[in-house]
Amino acid sequence: MWSNVTEFKQWWLKSRPLRPPFDQASFITDLAYSLCLYREDAFQIELYILKPNSTAPFHSHPGVDSTFIYLGGNLEFGLEDGTFPDLSEFQKAKENGAHMLLGKSADAPDGMLHSVRTFKEGGAFLSFEHWKEKEPDSVVLNWTGEPDGKVHAQILGK
């Protein structure tokens, strides 16, 4: 398929654009590391890498529709009713070596309460976002609810 790393890189970049913005591209909170991979107009994609054995308080992102795409690790997205679906039976590899949940999604429409929790492996997901009321920055900043810890509270100015 590819004969060297340069060909592989070019293929990936051609089909999956990366363009982190200069401003407000990355954040570190008590729970996660985030990086905006792509931003254009009112849309952006943020990569989240979550620390092991962590839970975000239930929160919302007013004015933002989000779809979270599972990448890897052991995590569960909390539902608006305050529950977490048990995904333990899916925490294994497919035949091709990818995680069984790779590409599965969870939606958080504008203002919907949601959460995420991880287990000993931590986890990672992509957040696809449509910002309907203001210019995108990060859902780390556009957060309604308790912060995920002291560092996040400082970022939010609380």
* Residue 5, in any domain of the structure: no
In a domain, 10, yes or no: no
In a domain, 135, yes or no: yes
Question: How far is the C-alpha of 125 from the C-alpha of 72, rounded, in Å?
Answer: 7
Please tell me the distance from the alpha carbon of residue 156 to that of residue 139, in angstroms, as a whole number. 11
Q: What are phi and psi of 57, to 5 degrees?
A: -60, 155
* Structural domain includes residue 94: yes
139 falls within a domain: yes
> Which pTM value belongs to this model?
0.91
Residue 2 located in a structural domain: no
> 70 is in which domain, residue-wise?
15-156
- Number of domain units in the chain: 1
Domain assignment present for residue 103? The answer is yes
* 63, two tokens: 């004015």
**What's the CATH number where 34 sits?**
2.60.120.10
Q: What is the pLDDT along the chain (158 residues), one digit of tens a residue?
A: 778 888 878 887 788 889 999 999 999 999 999 999 999 999 999 999 999 999 999 999 999 999 999 999 999 999 999 999 999 999 999 999 999 999 999 999 998 999 999 999 999 999 999 999 999 999 999 999 999 999 999 999 98
Please report whether residue 43 resides in a domain.
yes
